[in-house]
Amino acid sequence: MDEILNDAPLLPLIDGFWDRAGIARRTLRAKGLKARALDALIAQCCIDADVPLITLDNDFRHFAAHCGLELG
């Protein structure tokens, strides 16, 4: 497992990342949906890089439904 993680590319933070992550979290929370800060950061990294997030965590479904996150 460590080899897989060590070989995985790092996603760059694009200008405005922090603002977009905050807006995504605020959008979900305004709808009464669960949106933890760390989940917002992870989701925004994937959204910006246009890569799907592979996860078993159902909390990301809200980011997929309302913020453009693609789940893999």
Instruction: Enumerate the domain spans of the chain.
Output: 16-67
Q: What is the pLDDT of residue 26?
A: 98
Comparing CA positions, the residue from 46, 44, 15, 13 lying closest to residue 27 is: 44
Each residue's pLDDT tens digit, 24-58 = 999 999 999 999 999 999 999 999 999 999 999 99
Q: How far is CA 50 from CA 3, 21, 30, 32, in A?
A: 24, 14, 25, 26
Name the pTM for this structure: 0.88
Q: What is the pLDDT of residue 1?
A: 67
CB atoms within 10 A of CB 26: 12
Q: What is the pLDDT of residue 18?
A: 98
Backbone angles phi, psi at 6, to 5 degrees: -65, -30
